[in-house]
A and B are shown apart, each in its own frame.
Chain A
Amino acid sequence: MSDERFEQRLGQAARDYHAPGEVPRDAMWAAIDAARRGQAGAAPPAPRRRPVARVPWLAAAGIAAVLAIGVAIGRWTARLPGGALPAQGIAGVPTAGDPAVGDTMRPTELPHNVAARAADAPGHRPDRPGSGVARRAARPDAAPTLARAPRGRSASAAERV
Chain B
Amino acid sequence: MTGALVEQARDLRVDERTLIDRVLAGDAGAARALYDAHVDRVYRLAYRLAGDEDLARDCTQDAFVRAFERLADFRGASSLATWLHSVTVSTTLNALRKRKRWWAREAPLEAADGIGRVGRQAEPDLKHRLAGAIDALPEIYRTVFLMYDVEGFTHEEIGGALGVPVGTSKARLSTARAKLRQALADFAGDWAS
Contacts and interface: CB of A to CB of B under 8 A. Distances in A.
A29 B35 contact: yes
A111 to B, nearest CB: 79
Interface string B39-58: 11001100111110100110
B57 A24 contact: yes
A7 B36 CA distance: 33
A15 to B, nearest CB: 6
A6 B191 contact: yes
A18 interface: yes
B65 A32 contact: yes
A17 to B, nearest CB: 6
Interface residues of A, number: 27
B136 interface: no
B177 A25 contact: no
Contact of A6 (B32, B39, B181): B181
B71 to A, nearest CB: 11
Interface residues of B, number: 39
A21 B39 contact: no
Contact of A20 (B31, B32, B44, B65): B44
A10 to B, nearest CB: 6
Nearest to B145: A14
A31 B39 CA distance: 13
B25 interface: no
Interface stretch (B78-86, B100-108, B113-121, B124-132): B124-132
Given A6-B191, A10-B181, A18-B47, 6 more contacts: A9-B191, A11-B150, A17-B48, A29-B35, A29-B39, A35-B61
Interface of A: 1, 5-7, 9-11, 13-18, 20-21, 23-25, 27-29, 31-33, 35-36, 39
